[in-house]
Structure 1
Amino acid sequence: MSEAAPREQWGTRSGFLLAAIGSAIGLGNIWRFPYVAYDNGGGAFLLPYLIALLTAGIPLLILEYALGHRYRGSAPLTFRRLHRRAEFLGWWQVGVCLLIASYYAVVVAWAGAYTVYAVDGAWGDDPDAFFTGDFLAVAEAGTLGGLRWPVLLPLVLVWAVALGVLVGGVKRGIERANRVMIPVLVLSFGALVVRAVTLEGATLGLDALFTPDWGAMLDSSVWVAAFGQIFFSLSVGFAIMITFASYLPRDADLTGNAFIAGFANSSFELLAGIGVFAALGFLATAAGTAVDEVATEGVGLAFVVFPAVISQMPGFNGFFGVLFFGSLVVAGLSSLISIIEASVSAVVDKFALGRRRTVALVGGGTALVSLLYATAGGVNLLDVVDNFVNLFGVAVVGLVEVVVVVWLLRQVEPLRRHADGLSEVPLRRWWVLALTVVTPLLLGLVTLDNLRAELSAPYSTADGTYPVGFVIGLGWGAAALALAIGLALTLPAWRRPGVDLLAPPRRTEETLT
C-alpha cells in the first residue's frame, strides 16, 4: 500500500498506552461509574461488570486496535480500505466525536473554573444555588441567554491547551502531554481517595457501595447497565482507538495493549468509586442523613455534592478541592484531545491538508460551536445533547460497527490472525464468540433498552421542565446530525495523493521483516 508520506508513530509503547488510557479515563469514570454500581447491586455489580469487560469491552478494544493497525489509517480510511461502502461508518463516528467535543470542552472549563473557586470555597454554604445561579445563571430551557464569562474564559484556555497539544502531532504533542497528565491524574486523585477514606463516616459510604445485593443479579437491567458502562467508558465505537492504533509500530502487541488499557481504565473506575462514596459517607454523616439521600451522578455530583463535601472537610479544604477539580480538568483534557485527534486524523487522511491547518479548521470550528454551551441556557442544551449523542450515537454506531465488520464483511478471522501474528497471548475462540454473539447481542439490548426508556418516558429534567419540542429538536436532532455529518463527509472524493484505497494491507509477516 503506497502512502504519500510515512504515517506518524508513537515514540514508545508506554506513550501509546498512556494516550489510550487517557482517552478512556474521562469525566464519566469519576461521576458515572460509582453511582451506576451503587444503583445496580453495589458489590454484586462488579461481577457483571467484570464479565462485560472480558466478553465485550476488551474484545471490542482488540478489534479496533487490529483494524487501525492493519489498515494504517483514521476510522474513515480504515473502513474505506476494509470495503468501499464502509467508509460512511468511519465518518459517522467522526460526527459523533465532533458533537461530543463541542460540549465536553465546556464541562472541562467548568472544572477549571471550580479549581480556582476551590481555593477559598467561593460556592459558599449553598453550592447548588451558586452553580445554577452565580456561576451558570441558568436560563429557561429553549433559550440561550448571553455568554457566561465565568465559563467562557476557562473555555478559551481549555481549547488553547488542547489545540496546542494537537498541533504538536502524535509523538511531540499527544504522547508528551499524556506522559505528564496521566501520572498527575493518578497521583492527585489517589491522594484525594486516601483522604476521603480517612474521613468520619467514610465506611458508611463504602458499605453502601460494596454491600452486595445478589438479588440484583437476576435483573436483566443490571446486566444491561454493566455492558453499557463498559461500552461508554473504554472509548470504543467512535473512531479514537482505531486512529490511535494506526500510529502503532508494525510489531506492536495488540492484545497485550488492549488488556493493559482495559484493566487500567476499570481500575481507575473502581478507585473513583471508593473515593466518591467515602466522601458521600462523610457528607451523609455530617448531615445526619442516609447515603442514598446524597448519592447522585453527573454534573450534580461534581459541582454540587462535592463542593459541599469539600466545604465540610476538617482542614485543608482548599487543597483537596483543587486536587478534585484539578483531577477533573486533567481527565477531561486527555479525553478531549483524543476525541479531536480522531477527527483531525480523518480530515488529514481524506483531504491531504497539513496538520496545523486541519487542527485550526476542525478544532477551531468545534471550539466556536462550543460557545453555544457557554451561554446561560447552555447547560440545558448540553444535558439533552449529551444524553442523546451517548445513547443513540455511541451505542448505535458501536453496534453497527460490529455488525458490519464481523457479520457482513466477515473480518473476524483475518483480524484475529493479524493480532495473533503480533501478540504474545493468542486470541482463541472466546474472542470470536464474544464478537460474533455476545457483543452484538448486548449492544443491541443496550440500544433497545435506551429506546424503550425514551419512548415510554421522554427525556426531561428531574422536575419535567424540558418542552417536548426542545427534546425532539435538540436531542434526536443531535443524533441525526451525527449521521448527516457522516454522509456529508463521505461524498467528496479522496484528495490524498498516492493512496490505493482498495489495496489489501500487507500481511503481518511481511510488515515485520
Structure 2
Amino acid sequence: MADSLCRLCPVPPKTTSQTVEERGKWGSKKEFILSVAGAIIGLGNVWRFPYLCYKNGGGAFFIPYLLFLVTCGVPLFVLETALGQYTSQGGIMCWRRVCPLFEGLGFASQVIIFYGCISYIVILAWAFLYFFYSFSGELPWATCNNTWNTDSCVVLNSHNATANWSSPVNASSSVVEFWQRRVLKISTGIEAIGNIQWDLSLCLLLSWIICYFCIWKGVRSTGKATYITATFPFLMLVVLFIRGMTLPGAIHGIKYYLYPNPARLADPQVWMDAGTQVFYSYAICLGCLTTLGSYNKYNNNCYRDSFYLCMLNSGTSFLSGFAIFSVLGYMSQKQGVDISSVAESGPGLVFIVYPQAVTLLPWPQVWSVCFFSMIIMLGIDGQFAGLESIMTSLTDVYPSQIRKGYRREFILMLICAVCYAFGQLLVSEAGAYILQIFDHYVCSGPTLLLMAIFQSVTIGWIYGAERFCDNIKDMIGYRPLPLFKYCWMYGTPLVCSGTFAFLLLRYTPLRFNNSYVYPWWAYWIGWFLAMSSLSMIPLTMVCKLAKGKGTLWQRLKTSLQPADIPMMVKEMESISTSLHVPDDGKNNL
C-alpha cells in the first residue's frame, strides 16, 4: 500500500493539483524553519529566561530546565509538529482525525490563541511607541523636564549614582516615570479604566495592519514574511551581545547570571519556574506548531527539524542571558549599586531596565532603535503565527466556504478588527492590570499543564504511542527514539500532573507589582477566561456522544477511533465538487 494511504490525511492519493493548491504548502524548507523559529523564539527568551536563571541558582537552574525540556518540551514539540504534518490539518481537524472524542483540544487551543492575540499585541504597541521616541534628539526617558515628570524625578546616570535607586519613596527614576506616567498612564486599579490613549491605540492599529498583511495570503505570504521577521532579531541579538560583552563590568553581570548555587535546587519554586519557562518559550499546547507543520510535505523530516528548532530556542535563551546581563553588569558598575537592584523580569526589563541602560551608552538613540526593533520583530513573529493558526483551523473545518474568492482575507480582517476593538481596553489607563489577568489565567500555568496532560494521554494511550511512532516512520523512514514513546505515555503526564498539583497547593491570589490586590470580580473574570478554553474539551465530548448512534458504549468506542480513509475520500469528493474541481477519474484509490 502506498505511503500516502497510511496517512490520516483528508486528501486521497493522486488528487488533482487544483485541490492540493487550495490549501497550500511551504515554498521551501527554509520557510517552515523560519516560521517555527519565529513562533517559538519570542520575548520570553529575552525577558524571562535570563532573569529566572539568575534568580534560581544560576548554572544550577539548567538541571530542572533540562529535565522539563527532555520529559515535556521536546516530546510535545515533536508530537505537535509530526501530528500536523501527518494529518495535513490545523489545530482542530488534526484531533478529529486521530481521536474525534478529543476534538475539543483543538477548540481549546484556538480559544487560548484568540485571547493571546488580543493581549499579546499590546506589547508591540508599547514597543512601537518607544521605537518612535528613539528618534528624538534626546531620549525622553533620560530627562526630568517633561510634562509627565514629578518633582521627585531623578536622572540615573554615570554622574548620579544615587542611593535612592532602591528608595522610590524619596525619588523615582526618569525611566520609571516615563513608563508609568507617559506610556501606561497607569490608574489606581483595574476598576479605574480611565481614558483610551490615542497614541497607543494608533500603535496598536499599526501592529494589527502589519500582522494582517503578513498572513493575508495564507502560507504564501507568511513564509515570505519570516525571511525578515525571524532573521532580524537574531542579527540584533548578536549585535547587542557583542556590544554588551565589550562593556566595563560585563564579567560582573555574567557571574551573577551563571554562578551556580546548588542549594536553590531544594526550593520547589525553582522547579516550577523551570517547567513554566519550557511551556512558555516552546509555544506547546497552543496549536501553532501543528498548524505550521501541516503545511510541510509528507516526507519532510519533521523529527530532525524539531531537534534543531529546540536547540535553537534554548540556545537563543542562553545567548540572551549574556546579552542582557552583560549590560546589567555595566549598569551596576556605573551606578555603584548591586546588580540585584537592576535585575528584573518581564516588561520591567524591556521597558525600564534596558531603556535605562542605553542612556549610559554612547549614541543611545542608535542602541534604542536596535533594541526596540528587535522587540517588535519578535512580537510580530509570535503574533502572526497565532493568527495563522486560527485561520488555518477555521479553513480546515470549513474549506469549501472559506477557500473561495476573498473570503479568507475578509474573515481574517474581521478577526483582526474584533481583536483590535477588544484591545482598546488594554491601551486604557487600566491596561496593565488587564494584561496581567490575561497573561496569568489564559496563556500560562494550569491551563497549559492540563492541555499537555490531555494531549500526551490522547496520543500515548488512546490513539497509541506505538501507532504514532509507526506514523512517524511512515513519513521519515525510521522510528523516533523510544524515549519519546515513554514520555508520551508516562513522563509528560506524570511531570505535568505533579507540577499542576504543586500549583494548586501553593496557590496565592494574583497581585500587581506584589502590592495591588485585585477586586474579587477580577479574579472571577480570570477564571472565566481560563475555563472558557478548557471547557471546550468536555463540551465537545458531550456533543460527540449525543450525536452518535447506538448505545453509549458503542458511541464511545466509535468516537475514540481515528477517522478512516474511505470516509475522508467521500468528504474530499464533496469538497472538490463544491470547489468545482473536475474529476477526471484518477482520484480513486
Give the match's secondary structure for 1:451.
Answer: helix
The within-5 A match list for 1:117-196 is 117-120=133-136, 121-124=139-142, 125=155, 126-141=174-189, 142-170=191-219, 172-196=220-244
Q: Deviations over 1:76-118 (max 9, x none)?
A: 1011111222111100000000011101111111111111222
1:289 aligns with 337
- Counterpart in the other structure of 2:385: 338
Partner of 2:495: 442
Q: Output the amino acid matched with 1:66.
A: A
Cα deviation, residue 58, structure 1: 1.2
Residue pair 2:218, 2:388 contacting (<8 A) in 1 also: no
Query: Paired residue for 1:5?
Result: 19
Which sits farther off after the overlay, 158-167 or 417-426?
417-426
Q: 1:463–1:215: structure 2 CA closer, same or farther, 3 Å change rule? A: closer
Match of 1:84 among 65, 87, 100: 100
TM-superposed CA distance for 1:134, in Å, is 1.2
Relative to the length of structure 1, the TM-score reads: 0.91
Match of 2:74 in 1: 58
* 2:511 counterpart SS class: coil
Aligned match for 2:131, one of 115, 130, 138: 115
Unaligned 5+ segments in structure 1 are 495-500, 507-512
Larger radius of gyration: 2
- The 3 A distance-change label for structure 1 pair 440 and 484 is closer
Mapped partners of 2:421, 2:410: distance in 1: 16
CA distance, structure 1, for counterparts of residue 414 and residue 565 of structure 2: 31
User: 1:333 offset after TM fit, Å?
Assistant: 0.4
Match of 2:64 among 11, 35, 48: 48
Query: Matched residues in 1 for 2:488 and 2:536: separation?
Result: 27
| Partner SS for 1:421 | helix
Asked if the contact 2:459–2:468 (Cα under 8 Å) also holds between the matched residues in 1, the reply is no
Is 1:273 aligned to residue 321 of structure 2? yes
Are 1:503 and 2:564 counterparts?
yes
Aligned ranges 1:91-102 → 2 under 5 Å: 91-102=107-118
Deviation, structure 1 residue 50: 2.7
Task: State the Cα distance separating 1:489 from its structure 2 match.
Answer: 8.8
Give the CA deviation at 1:39. 1.4
| 1:236 maps onto 2:284 in alignment | yes
Distance 1:331 1:448 in 2: 33
Equivalent in 446, 450, 463 of residue 392 of structure 1 = 446
CA apart distance, 1:220: 3.9
Misfit runs of 4+, over 4 Å: 1-4, 484-494
Compared with structure 1, are the counterparts of its residues 488 and 178 closer, same or farther at alpha carbon in structure 2 (3 Å cutoff)?
farther
What is the CA-CA distance between 1:437 and the residue it aligns to? 1.8
Which one is further off, 143-152 or 174-183?
Answer: 143-152
Superimposed CA distance per residue, residues 312-333 of structure 1 (whole angstroms, 9 cap, x where no aligned partner): 12x1211111111111100010
- Residue-by-residue CA offset, 1:328-364 (whole Å, 9 max, x unaligned): 1000100001011111111112233242122123232
Per-residue deviation, 1:488: 8.2
- In the alignment, is the contact (CA less than 8 A) between 2:425 and 2:431 conserved in 1? yes
The answer to whether the 8 A contact 2:240-2:323 is kept is yes
User: What is the alpha-carbon distance in structure 1 between the residues aligned to residue 467 and residue 457 of structure 2?
Assistant: 16
**Is the 8 Å Cα contact of residues 56 and 439 (structure 1) preserved in structure 2?**
yes
1:296 Cα deviation from its structure 2 partner: 1.1
Amino acid in structure 2 at the alignment position of 1:340: L
CA contact (8 A) 1:385 1:474 kept: no
Note the alpha carbon deviations across 1:6-57, whole angstroms, 9 max, x for none. 2311111111011001000111111111111111110111233233323321
Instruction: Give the Å deviation of 1:504.
Output: 4.7
Q: Name the CA distance, whole Å, in 2 between partners of 1:427 and 1:53.
A: 17
Q: Secondary structure at the match of 1:163?
A: helix
Stretch deviating more after TM superposition (354-363 or 481-490)? 481-490
After superposition, the Cα gap between the structure-2 partners of 1:200 and 1:229, relative to the gap in structure 1 and judged at 3 Å, is same
Tell me the residue number matched to 2:357.
309
Q: Corresponding residue for 1:14?
A: 30
Alignment check: 8 A CA contact 2:47 2:345 kept: yes
Structure 2 Cα separation of the partners of residues 309 and 472 of structure 1: 36
On the 8 A contact 1:348/1:358 being kept in 2, the answer is no
Counterpart code for 2:250: A
Q: 1:193 to 1:425 in 2, by over 3 A?
A: farther
**Post-superposition shift, 1:61?**
0.9
**Kept in 1: contact 2:89–2:294 (CA 8 A):** yes
Residue in structure 1 matched with residue 431 of structure 2 by the alignment: 378
* Distance in 1 separating the partners of 2:514 and 2:218: 46
Match of 1:498 in 2: none
- 1:384 and 1:227 map into 2 onto residues whose CA distance is 20
Offset from partner CA, 1:221-253 (integer Å, 9 cap, x none): 323322221121111101101111111101110
Cα distance in 2 for partners of 1:357, 1:394 equals 31
1:96, 1:328 → 2: CA distance? Answer: 22
TM-score by length of 2: 0.80
Which residue of 2 is the match for residue 465 of structure 1? Answer: 516
User: Helix, strand or coil: the match of 2:365?
Assistant: helix
C-alpha root-mean-square deviation of aligned residues, in Å? 2.4
Decide whether the 8 Å contact of 1:34 with 1:276 is kept in 2.
yes
What is the distance in 2 between the residues matched to 1:16 and 1:208? 37
Q: Equivalent residues in 2 for 1:309-328 (5 A)?
A: 309-313=357-361, 315-328=362-375
Match of 2:471 in 1: 418
2: CA distance between counterparts of 1:402 and 1:148? 44
* Aligned-partner Cα distance in 1 for 2:516–2:324: 29
Gaps in structure 2 of 5+ consecutive residues: 1-8, 12-17, 143-154, 156-173, 548-561, 569-588
Is the alpha carbon distance of 1:161 and 1:214 closer, same or farther for their aligned partners in structure 2, counting shifts above 3 Å? same
Match of 2:5 in 1: none
Partner of 2:572: none
Q: For residue 455 of structure 2, what is the amino acid of its counterpart?
A: E
Shift of 1:371: 1.7
> Sequence identity, in percent?
25
Which residue identity is paired with 1:420?
K
Q: Distance in 1 between matches of 2:464 and 2:133?
A: 52
Question: Cα distance, 1:449 vs. partner?
Answer: 2.8
Change in Cα spacing, 1:95 to 1:2, as seen in structure 2 (3 Å) is closer
Rounded Cα–Cα distance in structure 1 between residues aligned with 2:419 and 2:355: 30
Give the Cα separation in 2 of the matches to 1:286 and 1:489: 58
- Check whether the contact 1:132–1:138 (CA below 8 A) recurs between aligned residues: yes
Contact 1:205–1:291 (Cα < 8 Å) also in 2: yes
Equivalent of residue 25 in structure 1, options 41, 44, 51: 41
SS in 2 for 1:296: coil
Equivalent AA in structure 1 for residue 413 of structure 2 = A
The structure 1 residue matched to 2:275, chosen from 222, 227, 234, is 227
Which residue among 442, 446, 459 is the counterpart of 1:405? Answer: 459
Mapped contact 1:347–1:358 kept (Cα < 8 A): no
Question: What displacement does 1:2 show?
Answer: 4.5
Q: What amino acid sits opposite 2:482 in the alignment? A: R
Distance 1:451 1:118, change over 3 A: farther
Distance 2:112 2:10 in 1: 30
